[in-house]
């Protein structure tokens, strides 16, 4: 396969779409492609130097006349500069709003024949697609892209339903870096958290937004804790954190609910965890579930969006209806009190992350799309 020059735009701060964009860029660089990140800051997972990975910072003017800083225009201009100066073959944008539209504008501005690949990640469709002020713009960005992908079949179907594009959308599942997300030895980390050997550990990691249903996670945990010794690790930060801390404080097991804030090396926390909870209202994929599964931690998730494409019910985890904290607790207890079954689920979770979500095959798929875009234009 010929080596290409690929521009990548994403939200560089914590969030699944930024993680996927960055991991994809790193893996493409390892295959010899030249990668140009065009973002407002260095993507947080870009934690290693590569000679063929470049960062182009989008700087937004805060000229006093502007009531709102024009990020979209600044991004489009920067993209146009990079397309021209670096002679990009492809620009791959993650998240439709505003990135797909900016890429289309940048191609016009640059006058170059660059290919545009847009990957839809979830809330850009499931939340913003319901907003009448943005729907037209999302449809425009999708139609004008050369290739559009979605991270699950569920998201693809929802895009057709909500946005009604004529464009064909392809599903390419998310993946994890299996050099990082794998079972590792973390010594006495569990003890350092004051967790004894016989206690089970349940983990949840997210941006603590309302759709993540943190109170359901606490409720399910309390039902588990009433039966067995256990701890709940809550990783992340966001708008719901304060409220959840207050809910936790009111429970008889407040000492067993540990708020860890944002953490960089979550794989070390997965190494001391037995089960992952993701009980969201909406979730196009649930990348954090896959990260946990790759480390041998099965998940309990809600049967919503793309989660049923990640968790195979009764094989590598369990699915429950949104809000059904009784079922979540029952399934959790079923695994946490049966070491042999938990072990089977652990193995099945790791196998799924290696097979169905095989990172090398997924990168092959993206490379094939870039080739197709180059032929199309």
Instruction: Tell me: does residue 172 bind ligand GMT (CB under 6 A).
Output: no
Closest approach of ligand GMT to the CB of residue 273, in Å: 19
How far separated are the first and last CA of the chain, in Å rounded?
A: 18
Helix (H) or strand (E) holding 205: strand 200-206
Q: Dihedral of CA 59/64/66/68: which sign?
A: positive
Instruction: Tell me: does residue 283 bind ligand GMT (CB under 6 A).
Output: yes
The tokens describing 353, both together, are 């992350």
Instruction: Tell me: does residue 121 bind ligand GMT (CB under 6 A).
Output: yes
Instruction: Tell me: does residue 45 bind ligand GMT (CB under 6 A).
Output: no
Report the candidate in 150, 118, 99, 113 with the shortest Cα–Cα distance to residue 374.
113
CB atoms within 10 A of CB 161: 10
Which of 4, 8, 9, 15 touches ligand GMT (CB under 6 A)?
Answer: 15
Kindly report the three-state secondary structure assignment for every residue of 15-33. Answer: CHHHHHHHHHHHHHHHCCC
The tokens describing 151, both together, are 């991270």
Site for ligand GMT in 78-107 (CB under 6 A): 95
- How far apart CA 297 and CA 106 sit, in angstroms, is 42
CA distances from 186 to 181, 189, 240, 285, 339 (A): 13, 6, 30, 28, 21
String marking each residue 125-154 x if it binds ligand GMT according to CB under 6 A: -x------------------------x---
β-pairing, 299-302 with 275-278? parallel
Closer Cβ to ligand GMT, 273 or 304, answer by number: 304
Which of 25, 43, 98, 122 touches ligand GMT (CB under 6 A)?
Answer: 122
- How far apart CA 59 and CA 80 sit, in angstroms, is 14
Report the candidate in 270, 198, 254 with the shortest Cα–Cα distance to residue 229.
198
In 87-238, which ranges are continuous DSSP H helix? 99-110, 123-126, 135-144, 153-163, 189-192, 214-225
Instruction: Tell me: does residue 358 bind ligand GMT (CB under 6 A).
Output: no
The residues, any chain, with a CB within 8 Å of residue 38's CB and separated by 6 or more, are 7, 8, 9, 56, 58, 75, 78, 79, 82, 91
Instruction: Tell me: does residue 301 bind ligand GMT (CB under 6 A).
Output: no
Closer Cβ to ligand GMT, 167 or 209, answer by number: 209
Q: Mark the segment that binds ligand GMT (CB under 6 A) among 23-31, 56-64, 279-287, 367-375.
A: 279-287
CB atoms within 10 A of CB 199: 16
Site for ligand GMT in 186-225 (CB under 6 A): 207, 209, 211
How many residues touch ligand GMT under the rule CB under 6 A: the total is: 21
Closest approach of ligand GMT to the CB of residue 94, in Å: 8
Which of 33, 200, 282, 346 touches ligand GMT (CB under 6 A)?
Answer: 282
Which of 16, 129, 296, 317 touches ligand GMT (CB under 6 A)?
Answer: 16
Closest approach of ligand GMT to the CB of residue 209, in Å: 6
Closer Cβ to ligand GMT, 87 or 313, answer by number: 313
Q: Mark the segment that binds ligand GMT (CB under 6 A) among 104-112, 122-130, 294-302, 340-348.
A: 122-130
Instruction: Tell me: does residue 241 bind ligand GMT (CB under 6 A).
Output: no
Closest approach of ligand GMT to the CB of residue 110, in Å: 27
Judged by the rule CB under 6 A, the positions of this chain that interact with ligand GMT are 15-18, 20, 95, 121-123, 126, 151, 174, 207, 209, 211, 282-287
């Amino acid at each position: 396969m010929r080596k290409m020059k690929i521009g990548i735009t994403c939200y560089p701060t914590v969030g699944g779409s930024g993680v996927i964009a960055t991991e994809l860029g790193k893996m493409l660089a390892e295959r010899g492609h030249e990668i140009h990140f065009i973002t407002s800051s260095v993507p947080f997972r870009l934690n290693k130097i590569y000679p063929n990975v470049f960062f182009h910072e989008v700087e937004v003017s805060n000229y006093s006349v502007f009531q709102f800083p024009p990020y979209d225009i600044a991004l489009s201009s920067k993209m146009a500069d990079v397309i021209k100066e670096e002679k990009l073959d492809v620009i791959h944008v993650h998240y439709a709003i505003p990135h797909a539209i900016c890429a289309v504008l940048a191609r016009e501005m640059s006058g170059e024949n660059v290919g545009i690949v847009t990957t839809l990640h979830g809330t850009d469709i499931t939340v913003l697609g319901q907003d009448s002020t943005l729907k037209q713009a999302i449809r425009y960005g999708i139609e004008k892209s050369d290739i559009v992908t979605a991270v699950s079949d569920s998201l693809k179907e929802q895009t057709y339903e909500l946005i009604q594009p004529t464009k064909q959308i392809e599903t390419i599942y998310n993946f994890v870096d299996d050099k990082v997300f794998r079972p590792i030895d973390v010594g006495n980390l569990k003890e350092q958290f004051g967790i004894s050997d016989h206690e089970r550990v349940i983990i949840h990691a997210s941006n603590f937004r309302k759709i993540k249903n943190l109170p359901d996670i606490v409720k399910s945990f309390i039902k588990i804790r009433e039966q067995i010794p256990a701890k709940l690790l809550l990783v992340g930060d966001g708008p719901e954190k304060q409220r959840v801390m207050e809910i936790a404080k009111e429970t008889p097991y407040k000492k067993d609910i540990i708020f860890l804030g944002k953490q960089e090396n979550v794989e070390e926390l997965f190494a001391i965890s037995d089960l992952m909870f993701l009980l969201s209202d909406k979730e196009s994929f649930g990348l954090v579930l896959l990260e946990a599964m790759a480390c041998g931690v099965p998940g309990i998730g809600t049967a919503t969006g793309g989660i049923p494409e990640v968790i195979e019910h009764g094989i590598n985890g369990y699915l429950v209806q949104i809000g059904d904290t009784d079922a979540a607790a029952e399934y959790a207890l079923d695994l946490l009190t049966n070491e042999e079954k938990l072990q089977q689920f652990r193995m099945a979770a790791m196998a799924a992350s290696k097979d169905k979500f095989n990172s090398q095959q997924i990168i092959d798929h993206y490379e094939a799309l870039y080739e197709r875009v180059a032929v199309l234009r």
